[in-house]
Amino acid sequence: MYLSRVEIDVNNRQKTKDLTHLGAFHNWVEQSFPAEVKAGKRRRHLWRIDPLNGKQYLLVLSEAAPDLTQLATYGVAGTAVTKSYDPFLASIQEGQVMQFRLTANPTYAIKQPGKKQPRIVPHVTIAQQRQWLVGKAEKSGFQLIEKEPVNNNEAADNRAFDVISRDWPVLRRKPDQGGRGGRLSRVTFEGFLRVADVTTFKQALINGIGREKAFGMGLMTVIPRG
- pLDDT attached to residue 147: 78
Contacting residues for 164 by C-beta, under 8 A, at least 6 apart = 188, 189, 190
- pLDDT attached to residue 199: 98
d(CA 210, CA 221): 14
- Judge whether 32 and 67 are in contact, CB under 8 Å: yes
Domains located in the chain, CATH noted: 2-85 (3.30.70), 92-224 (3.30.70.1210)
DSSP secondary structure letter of residue 146: B
- pLDDT attached to residue 172: 85
- pLDDT attached to residue 78: 96
- Judge whether 170 and 20 are in contact, CB under 8 Å: yes
Contacting residues for 216 by C-beta, under 8 A, at least 6 apart = 22, 25, 26, 47, 48, 49, 103, 169, 186
Contacting residues for 81 by C-beta, under 8 A, at least 6 apart = 4, 5, 6, 68
Q: Can you list the positions of beta strands (E) in 25-180?
A: 46-52, 55-62, 81-84, 97-104, 107-110, 119-122, 142-144, 161-167, 170-172
Residues of the chain predicted below pLDDT 70: 149-156, 174-180
Entry pTM: 0.89
- pLDDT attached to residue 112: 83
- pLDDT attached to residue 39: 86
Please write the tens of the pLDDT for every residue from 78-107: 999 999 999 999 999 999 999 999 999 999
Count of beta carbons in the 10 Å neighbourhood of residue 187: 23
DSSP secondary structure letter of residue 26: H
| CA 56 distance to own-chain centroid | 15
- pLDDT attached to residue 38: 87
- pLDDT attached to residue 34: 95
170-176 LR contacts (CB < 8 Å, sep 24+)? 170/20, 170/21, 170/22, 171/21, 171/22, 171/23, 171/215, 172/21, 172/22, 172/23, 172/24, 173/23, 174/23
